[in-house]
């Protein structure tokens, strides 16, 4: 089990950044309805 061929070279690889999901699109908060003047 494992690799059977000889090592050919080696590198040092930095710890990967964790995968990040894209931010969900933000929808603007609903504006409360303005009271509509009635009559006059």
21 binds another protein (CB under 8 A): no
13 binds another protein (CB under 8 A): yes
Angstrom distance (rounded) from CA 38 to CA 40 = 7
Which of 14, 24, 37, 39 touches another protein by CB under 8 A?
14
The nearest distance, CB 10 to another protein, in angstroms, is: 5
Cα dihedral 7→8→12→13 (10° resolution): -90
The nearest distance, CB 23 to another protein, in angstroms, is: 17
Contact footprint for another protein (CB under 8 A):
1-16
């Amino acid at each position: 089990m494992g690799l059977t061929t000889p090592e050919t070279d080696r590198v040092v690889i930095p710890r990967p950044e964790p995968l990040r999901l894209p931010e969900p699109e933000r929808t603007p908060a609903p504006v409360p309805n303005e009271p509509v003047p009635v009559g006059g």
